[in-house]
């Protein structure tokens, strides 16, 4: 279904996609009369008597879209009007009749979903392809803020931008403690803050099945969008206006969803609520338009081979398939930047066929001494602590030249131990060689 839209200027360097336009009729909403009748009955059954404007607001539809369905249910003796005022039908108070309550119960048995009306699957697919992660504007200067807390060599920094612009998958690998997760999260921060906002629906409907998408625990609403102002005195005007933004969609910052060892294959499938008879979109599906970070790859509750076999075609074709309880499958976009971060050797995890589908591979090795000292200094500054070169000299003399591989995370961990020692002794937080000897004896010595 083609959707008319509004171009909206965004608050950052990447423009916001065109916003879905509010439907002018039931036909433009993409919903069938029977579907909306059932939604209205369930709403009144779950919430009790409601004003017409409140029903429309709950369903996120203009009142003119629900007016005729309400009239039909009234003519069918399923609902009744308990009162109203001079504003018109939008202020009528509607409630269920005995017949309406029986039909509402039947509708609840079929599906108990109550909330914003879903959008059609085809509208969701169209919107996803209008706001892909491919081709976002990304320049060296725009990456400085999200990566400002990291110390990276110039060539490493210059590899990240093209990976973001490509919108393809990224494999970040190397020994532990050297910033892989921090780098992956910094990419996510860039996408979340400078990647522009996107529109996602509260839910969509596919072959009569409702699938919820918006997740307030994962999606950050872009509250700078003025079209979503909810002042009380504008409520009726929004419900009756023409040319407004479709309120079934939520404007959010590009999502950044992080998962780790808890990931399993069942999390990549639709979650069916057997009691309510509707679905929740899988976790990676909610990352469409943004970033899906798989941290500590290779330590999930399923084998790397199983996980990669599940994704090998979506990574290639940019679409996936979701399966409902009846066994029917439908195609959905797979439009996200997937980042795999691992401490393990990629050759032990994946074969060449899969590595070929990973466009960008970024290896992060142990820092050289000049980089280590910069990281050490940055952590001293973060903790409000003086930099002491003698403390670094001790670490290299005692550990790093005797077999222990330096880790970027050592700087943070050791200096925070020094900070704790100073606070425990009620001393000003400061750094000396002796304090580093004490801190490292606790943190490193037992593992050497």
Strand partners, 72: none
274 φ, ψ (degrees, to nearest 5):
-65, -30
pLDDT tens digits along 385-412? 999 999 999 999 999 998 899 999 999 9
DSSP assignment of 54-123, as one string? HHHHHHTS-HHHHHHHHHHHHHTTSEEEEE--TT-GGG-EEEE-HHHHHHHHHHHHH----SSPPEEHHH
pLDDT tens digits along 263-318? 888 888 999 988 899 999 999 999 999 888 888 888 888 888 788 788 878 888 88
**Burial profile 202-228: b = 16 or more Cβ within 10 angstroms, e = fewer:** bbbbbeebbbbbbbeeebeebeebeee
Split at pLDDT 50, 70, 90, the class of 10 is very low
What do you get for the CA distance between the two ends of the chain, in Å?
64
Output the pTM of the full model: 0.81
Q: Which one has a higher pLDDT value, 234 or 94?
A: 94
Strand partners, 96: 79
Rounded to whole angstroms, the Cα distance separating 433 from 394 reads: 7
**Burial profile 256-289: b = 16 or more Cβ within 10 angstroms, e = fewer:** bbbbeeebeeeebebeeeeeebbbbbbbbbbbbb
Rounded to whole angstroms, the Cα distance separating 177 from 182 reads: 10
pLDDT tens digits along 220-236? 898 765 444 444 344 44
For position 421, what pLDDT does the model report?
Answer: 96
Enumerate residues 6+ apart whose C-beta is below 8 A from 9. Answer: 15, 16
For position 121, what pLDDT does the model report?
Answer: 95
């Amino acid at each position: 279904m083609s959707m008319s839209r509004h171009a909206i200027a965004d608050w950052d360097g990447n423009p916001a996609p065109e916003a879905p336009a509010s439907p002018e009729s039931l036909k433009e909403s993409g919903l069938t009369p029977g579907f909306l009748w059932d939604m209205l009955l369930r709403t009144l059954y779950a919430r009790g008597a409601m004003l017409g404007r409140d029903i429309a607001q709950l369903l996120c539809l203009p009142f003119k879209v629900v007016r005729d369905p309400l009239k039909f249910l009234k003519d069918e003796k399923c609902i009744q009007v308990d009162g109203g005022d001079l504003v018109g039908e939008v202020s009528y108070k509607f409630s269920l009749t005995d017949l309406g309550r029986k039909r509402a119960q039947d509708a609840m048995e079929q599906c108990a979903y109550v909330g914003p009306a879903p959008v059609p699957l085809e509208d969701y697919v169209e919107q996803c392809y209008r706001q892909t992660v491919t081709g976002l504007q990304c320049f060296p200067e725009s990456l400085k803020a999200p990566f400002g807390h990291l110390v990276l060599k110039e060539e490493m920094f210059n590899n990240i931008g093209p990976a973001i612009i490509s919108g393809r998958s990224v494999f970040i690998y190397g020994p532990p403690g050297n910033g892989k997760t921090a780098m992956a999260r910094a990419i996510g921060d860039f996408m979340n803050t400078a990647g522009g906002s996107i529109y996602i629906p509260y839910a969509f409907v596919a072959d009569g099945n409702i699938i919820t998408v918006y997740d307030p625990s994962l999606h950050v609403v872009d509250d700078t969008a003025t079209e979503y102002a909810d002042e009380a005195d504008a409520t009726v005007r929004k419900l009756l206006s023409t040319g407004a933004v479709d309120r079934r969609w939520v404007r959010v910052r590009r999502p950044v969803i992080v998962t780790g060892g808890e990931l399993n294959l069942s999390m990549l499938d639709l979650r069916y609520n057997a009691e309510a008879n509707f679905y929740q979109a899988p976790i990676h599906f909610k990352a469409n338009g943004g970033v899906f970070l798989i941290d500590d790859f290779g330590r999930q509750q399923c084998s790397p081979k199983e996980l990669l076999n599940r994704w090998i075609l979506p990574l290639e074709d940019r679409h996936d398939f979701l399966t409902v309880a009846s066994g029917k499958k439908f195609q959905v976009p797979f439009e996200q930047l997937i980042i795999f971060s691992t401490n393990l050797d990629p050759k032990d995890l994946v074969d060449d066929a899969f590595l070929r589908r990973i466009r960008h591979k970024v290896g992060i090795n142990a820092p050289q001494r000049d980089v280590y000292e910069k990281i050490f200094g940055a952590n001293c500054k973060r903790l409000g602590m003086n930099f002491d070169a003698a403390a670094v000299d001790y670490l290299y003399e005692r550990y790093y030249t005797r077999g222990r591989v330096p880790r970027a995370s050592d700087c943070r961990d050791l200096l925070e131990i020094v900070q704790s020692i100073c606070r425990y002794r009620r001393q000003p937080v400061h750094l000396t060689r002796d304090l580093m000897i004490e801190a490292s004896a606790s943190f490193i010595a037992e593992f050497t």
